[in-house]
Amino acid sequence: MPPFPPTLHPTDQMLLGDAPIPLCRPVFAHYTGSKTVHTFGGKDLLDVDGRPQFAEVAILRLFEADGWQGRWVETYGHMHAPALWREWKPGGPGAQAHIPIEEAWVKDKLQAIAQANGGTYSGCWDVLAWKGDRLVFAESKKQRKDRIRDTQVRWLDAALQRGLRPEDFLLVEWALG
């Protein structure tokens, strides 16, 4: 299997449809500082570089620390053109900085998957990371709380139709430590 960042190294897999998807189970630190941060609907705040962030940012930082580029892909309220973030700013969704993807091949692949997904980004996995010619979608799920949604399985199916492989996906089933 192609390598992932060390902390995100798969230790298991989950069958989604017919696709065996790599699965890892990292433990993230809970943020214990000031709680004057918009929690985007009650999401857990994690300590990422001493700042309150969400699991999507923690996952993105692990990819970046291993030499990858990436974005948190937020589709809630953005089904036709997702928001592309690198961090969470305390002021809430309107305070976030959209950071476009400059690499044409990454943008083209993302758009092709959306087209195969009925023309929508709905169900796109949380983190998109790329390194060299490798592209990975990672989905953040808190252990014993979150489940894969049907829209995410449809996104996976659309991506497989567009040439991605099961090992180009990663389920990150995280816990607080």
What is the four-CA torsion angle of 105, 107, 109, 111, rounded to 10 degrees? -150
Report the predicted TM-score, pTM, of the whole model to 2 decimal places.
0.95
pLDDT of residue 1: 45
Q: State the Cα–Cα distance between residues 135 and 133, nearest whole angstrom.
A: 7
- Distance between alpha carbon 16 and the CA centroid of its chain, in Å? 17
- What tens digit of pLDDT does each residue of 75-109 get? 987 557 899 999 999 999 999 999 999 999 999 99
Q: What is the CA radius of gyration of the chain?
A: 15
Q: State the Cα–Cα distance between residues 54 and 79, nearest whole angstrom.
A: 21
Residue range 123-150: average pLDDT? 96
Residue 34 pLDDT > 90: no
Residue range 7-17: average pLDDT? 96
Mean pLDDT of the chain: 94
Confidence of residue 35 (pLDDT cuts 50, 70, 90): confident
The tokens describing 31, both together, are 């943020």
